[in-house]
A and B are shown apart, each in its own frame.
Chain A
Amino acid sequence: MATQHSRSAARIMMAPAVVLLLGWMLIPLTMTLYFSFKKFLPLRGGDLGWVGFDNYVRFVSSSAFWPSVQTTLIIVGGVLVITVMLGVLLAILLDQPLWGQGIVRILVIAPFFVMPTVSALVWKNMFMDPVNGLFAHLWKFFGAQPVEWLSDAPLFSIILIVSWQWLPFATLILLTAIQSLDSEQLEASEMDGAPPLARFGFIILPHLSRAITIVVLIQTIFLLAVFAEIFVTTQGSFGTRTLTYLIFQRVLESQNVGLGSAGGVYAIILANIVAIFLMRIVGKNLDS
């Protein structure tokens, strides 16, 4: 329907946004690539010239690399499993007619509005602190020895914190999906003799598959970059050093910009591998 004129006008009006977004993406990417081929130590002599693929080789051969990839995948996988499973359950619960439904829904969504740093601090100091935390009091109430969460179960603690933040997102998307389910389908299956569990397995879950796919894809992208929660809790110790955190340590703690940049390029590749992998498995759901 667009005329030649309106089409070119549209292009001109979109141009600033496109240029800005392109610059936003391209400049950091180019700089990362540029530094990854340099020996660049800001406090120890600055730019020390080109080194080819040295940084890439050193980053991978470091003993910290593979464990960090593993940690990253455990955190992403753990959070995905918890948020999707609890998200489906919560969505079904919130779909039931309920007194004060509006307030309950806002409460459920609230954690999503808390900044990662803040929520990690809240969890660390108010729940998981072995002396003053709520969990410590709870354990003591039952006469048990309080758990030192962040050193005894560091990965689990971080997964718990991150899941708490992302559960609202999953719940929200799954809730809207559940609300779009035709109630006559459920009634039909009820008349066909399906008990509640079968109705869930045969009708509700297949209906949610597309929404679950979307939740998994979007969360994966963000979870690969989890940083604040680790920074304020364990600082990467006790085996919680993810790839993102390793890169941070190389650049800011070891002051080796070149090495960190090479790690950044690996992170980009890893993210893309995971993305393609996921698209392959679950992308089918988005087509039909």
Chain B
Amino acid sequence: MGQITLNQITKSFGDVQVIPPLDLRIDDGEFVVFVGPSGCGKSTLLRLIAGLEDVTSGDITIDGRNATEVPPAKRGLAMVFQSYALYPHMSVRKNIAFPLRMAGLDKEAQNAKVDAAAKVLNLTDYLDRRPGQLSGGQRQRVAIGRAIVREPAAFLFDEPLSNLDAALRVNMRLEISELHQTLKTTMIYVTHDQVEAMTMADKIVVLQAGLIEQVGSPLDLYHTPRNKFVAGFIGSPKMNFLTGQYAAGYDATTIGVRPEHISVSSSEGTWSGRVGVSEHLGSDTFLYVDIDGVDEPITVRSTGEIGVRHGDNVYLTPDASKIHRFDKQDLRIP
């Protein structure tokens, strides 16, 4: 079981309120991702759930039990830290066994659990090494191993992949998703990377300045963002925003079009512009097109290779059914 409810929780550091009153319900077995720009309070929120910070007001309920005043160790949650926080003077085996040892399990039970976890995480050959002798990905797995042996009600991940290189990050992303499929335990995952959020989450919580901007499944957020912030944050490359005369025709203050919903033509189209940088990735081509009266270049994503060069004149046509309209308050007009 791992059902967590946050009821009107707030957090202030001195006079600064970093989390305004906030409600959130996380269901058992869900993979929830908190995503937002740096300083949006997502790590603080995770630490509040973990019990490493005290809430200023409000209640945290874990599995129907009020856990607001319960110390971290008694909440039945396990956390994987950004720096992994492995104990450098202990072997991998002792690191993973540490929570069991603190729980007072006997040696045999400890070893059995550690061996099982090591097998799941491919760490069997490294059990006698020290964390300092492991690569980044292996250390990450040790940290996860230390979390799974406790059989927690929920896992908390605090930007666990941000110290890994790009290739390893993709691998570990898959491994964590795989782990979630096997264990079916609630996982709460904090990241600033919307790609991680989109690929792993059952439910994404987009935060800005401590406020929840929107909660929903990845595709919900992609198709029907509640406001301009969510629209700009979810999706890669970012959504293009146009104002003024371009938006007026759609009866909106701002319109947003995703790069993948614009088609390019060299002869005719709605908007004309001049190609700036073009990035050829083979499978896709990203064009940055300058059009009149818009400061930022419009990003266009075309599949396959297209033969345009820097300085070419092109015409862009947005897919009318995929245009998002926003009003003066930056809220989406349905």
List chain A positions with a Cβ less than 8 A from chain B: 182, 184-185, 187-195, 198, 202-203, 206-207, 209
CB neighbours (8 Å) of B99 from chain A are 192-193
Q: Is the CB of B89 within 8 A of A191?
A: no
Taking a contact as CB atoms closer than 8 A, the residue among A182, A193, A195, A198 that contacts B85 in the complex is A182
- The yes or no answer to B168 lying at the interface (CB within 8 A) is no
Q: Is the CB of B98 within 8 A of A192?
A: yes
In the bound complex, how far is the Cα of B88 from the Cα of A194, in angstroms? 16
Q: Using A188-B87, A193-B102 as known contacts, list a sample of 20 further A-B pairs with CB atoms less than 8 Å apart, ordered by residue number in A.
A: A182-B83, A184-B82, A184-B85, A185-B87, A187-B72, A188-B81, A189-B102, A191-B51, A191-B72, A191-B77, A191-B78, A191-B79, A192-B99, A192-B102, A192-B150, A194-B98, A202-B90, A202-B98, A206-B89, A209-B89
Closest to A199 in B: B102
Q: Is the CB of A187 within 8 A of B85?
A: yes
Q: Which of A185, A190, A192 has the most CB of B within 10 A?
A: A192
Q: Is the CB of A191 within 8 A of B52?
A: yes
Q: Is the CB of A190 within 8 A of B98?
A: no
In the bound complex, how far is the Cα of B50 from the Cα of A184, in angstroms? 13
- The yes or no answer to B73 lying at the interface (CB within 8 A) is yes
Interface residues on B, range: 20 to 34
In the bound complex, how far is the Cα of B89 from the Cα of A207, in angstroms? 8
In the bound complex, how far is the Cα of B95 from the Cα of A202, in angstroms? 11
16 sample A-B contacts, Cβ–Cβ < 8 Å, listed by A number: A184-B83, A184-B85, A185-B85, A187-B52, A187-B81, A188-B85, A189-B98, A190-B71, A191-B50, A191-B51, A191-B79, A192-B73, A192-B98, A192-B102, A194-B102, A195-B102
CB neighbours (8 Å) of A207 from chain B are 88-89
In the bound complex, how far is the Cα of B88 from the Cα of A154, in angstroms? 44
CB neighbours (8 Å) of B90 from chain A are 202
Q: How close is B163's CB to chain A, nearest CB, in angstroms?
A: 12
**Given known A182-B85, A203-B87, contact A188–B102 (CB-CB < 8 A):** no
In the bound complex, how far is the Cα of B50 from the Cα of A187, in angstroms? 10
Q: Is the CB of B87 within 8 A of A202?
A: yes
- The yes or no answer to B103 lying at the interface (CB within 8 A) is yes
- The yes or no answer to B139 lying at the interface (CB within 8 A) is no
Closest to A183 in B: B85
Q: Mark B87-118, 1 if CB is under 8 A from A, else 0.
A: 11110000000110011000000000000000
- The yes or no answer to B146 lying at the interface (CB within 8 A) is yes
Q: How close is B303's CB to chain A, nearest CB, in angstroms?
A: 43
Q: Shortest 3 CB-CB distances between A and B: which pairs?
A: A188-B85, A193-B73, A184-B85
In the bound complex, how far is the Cα of B156 from the Cα of A184, in angstroms? 14
Taking a contact as CB atoms closer than 8 A, the residue among B71, B77, B79, B89 that contacts A188 in the complex is B79
Taking a contact as CB atoms closer than 8 A, the residue among B72, B83, B89, B103 that contacts A190 in the complex is B72
In the bound complex, how far is the Cα of B98 from the Cα of A198, in angstroms? 11
Closest to A190 in B: B72
CB neighbours (8 Å) of B89 from chain A are 206-207, 209
CB neighbours (8 Å) of A198 from chain B are 102
Closest to A194 in B: B102
Q: How close is B113's CB to chain A, nearest CB, in angstroms?
A: 14
CB neighbours (8 Å) of A184 from chain B are 81-83, 85
Closest to A186 in B: B85
Closest to A188 in B: B85
